Amino acid sequence: MRTSILKKVKRIVIKIGSRVLTGDENGLDHALISRLAAETATLRRQGREVIIVSSGAVAAGRKELGIEGRPKSIPQKQAAAAIGQSHLMRAYEEDFGRFGHKVAQILLTRDDLSNRRRFLNARATIDTLLGFGVIPIINENDTVVVDEIKFGDNDNLSALVTNLAEAHLLIILTDIDGFFDSDPRANAGAKLIPLVKSITRDVERAAGGSGSAVGTGGMATKLAAAKKAGQFGVPTLMLNGMIPGILTEAFTGREVGTLFLPARESLNRRKHWIAHTLRPNGRVIVDDGARTVLSRKGKSLLPSGVVRVEGEFDRGACIRVCGTDGAEIARGIADYSHAEIERILGRRSSEIEAILGYKYGDEIIHRDNLVLL
């Protein structure tokens, strides 16, 4: 199964973690980046397109600034990223250049991808670069991000880029052989799981945090990324980036690392973007009848099923849809603002115009803009 999945893969997003790029020391491991460049060149010769999501800016920069351990404050982290990002790009430029490959830097914030126009723009840029045979190197724009517009970690970013670039496979290179049934750093008897068919709660429970001073998120964020990619119909392969030759070996069919299979039913690009890239601004609470109709019949959310609205948002915002028990059941783009919903909730759609004096449509969220979770 692995061989048949990997054979079809033409466009790959490769996420490289800070630990892989910086090794045990602070500062970039140039020998390792050269090796990855050689392996990437082999993948390119096999006719595959490669997009890299690279961490390591903060880890590289903190050495330059003489910061020991993790940066103490956000401005320190941002300063480290500002200096480290240019070192990172220079390393990629030099090392990939030796194999005749040009690289391009793309720095993103969540805000960029939340705006559909900018999302499509970023995608066009990536397509154009790939068309020119250039390898895009993507990172979060750490120097400008504040909490509200942060992806948070590059595992998450790599899953969103997989959707953005319509890639066929997400590869996560980290400092460990794959996903284990418990954190191997805490439990010497932990066993590698070569294939994960579905990321269930039990699987998630086995994922611990980062084992190092430079990594962000550890295994938990990697599973979340694999889940997001899977919902878009894309498998994820987690490999130990410290092992020479691992990238090319993975494509020979040898069972290395952990392969996460995609979900059986995948979301289309737009729904994936609504569910994972947009940040919800508020929520509506719906009654049990609406909950059943949404979850079982895939219908739109009408004002009659809404019992409460929370938060302030405009028409066009992404909002959560929750049951009366508070559980989030869906997410979608609201056709009415919070103030408008306040006035029409619990009423029939035919009454909207009489109440508001105008009407955008019958739905609070149209089913085309609604994603069940």
Ligand X SMILES: Nc1ncnc2c1ncn2[C@@H]1O[C@H](COP(=O)(O)OP(=O)(O)O)[C@@H](O)[C@H]1O
180 binds ligand X (CB under 6 A): yes
What DSSP state is assigned to residue 299? P
User: Mask 126-165, x = binds ligand X (CB under 6 A)?
Assistant: ----------------------------------------
26 binds ligand VHF (CB under 6 A): no
Name beta bridge partners: 236: 170, 260
Minimum distance from CB of 186 to ligand VHF (Å)? 18
Q: Give the separation between CA 333 and CA 367, rounded to whole angstroms.
A: 10
139 binds ligand VHF (CB under 6 A): yes
Flag whether 242 is marked binding: no
Minimum distance from CB of 38 to ligand VHF (Å)? 22
Flag whether 154 is marked binding: yes
Q: How are strands ordered across the β-sheet holding 49-54? A: 103-108, 135-140, 49-54, 11-16, 169-174, 236-240, 258-260, 195-196
Residue found under tokens 């119909």 = 233
What DSSP state is assigned to residue 261? P
Minimum distance from CB of 175 to ligand X (Å)? 5
55 binds ligand VHF (CB under 6 A): yes
210 binds ligand X (CB under 6 A): yes
Q: Give the separation between CA 273 and CA 247, rounded to whole angstroms.
A: 28
Can you tell me whether residue 68 is helix, strand or coil? coil
212 binds ligand X (CB under 6 A): yes
Flag whether 218 is marked binding: yes
Query: Rounded to 10 degrees, what is the CA torsion of 130, 222, 147, 22?
Result: -70
Residue 56 binding result from ligand VHF, ligand X, none, given CB thresholds of 5 to 8 Å by partner type: ligand VHF
Q: Give the separation between CA 202 and CA 204, rounded to whole angstroms.
A: 5
User: What part of residues 158-177 is at the interface with ligand X (CB under 6 A)?
Assistant: 174-176
Q: Give the separation between CA 163 and CA 134, rounded to whole angstroms.
A: 19
Flag whether 47 is marked binding: no
Minimum distance from CB of 309 to ligand X (Å)? 38
Flag whether 55 is marked binding: yes
User: What part of residues 1-30 is at the interface with ligand X (CB under 6 A)?
Assistant: 17-20
Minimum distance from CB of 237 to ligand VHF (Å)? 16
Q: Give the separation between CA 86 and CA 84, rounded to whole angstroms.
A: 6
Q: Give the separation between CA 247 and CA 14, rounded to whole angstroms.
A: 10
Cβ-based nearer residue to ligand X, 79 or 206 = 206
Q: Which of 316, 311, 323 is nearest to 283 (CA)?
A: 311
Query: Among 215, 262, 282, 332, which residue sits at the site for ligand VHF (rule: CB under 6 A)?
Result: 215
Query: Among 40, 78, 162, 216, which residue sits at the site for ligand VHF (rule: CB under 6 A)?
Result: 216
Minimum distance from CB of 239 to ligand X (Å)? 11
**Binding-residue total with ligand X (CB under 6 A):** 25
Question: How wide is the angle at C-alpha 155 spanned by C-alphas 17 and 14, nearest 5°?
Answer: 65
Q: Which of 194, 126, 207, 133 is nearest to 160 (CA)?
A: 126
Flag whether 219 is marked binding: yes
Residues found near ligand X in the complex (CB under 6 A): 17-20, 55, 174-176, 179-180, 182-185, 206-208, 210-212, 215-219
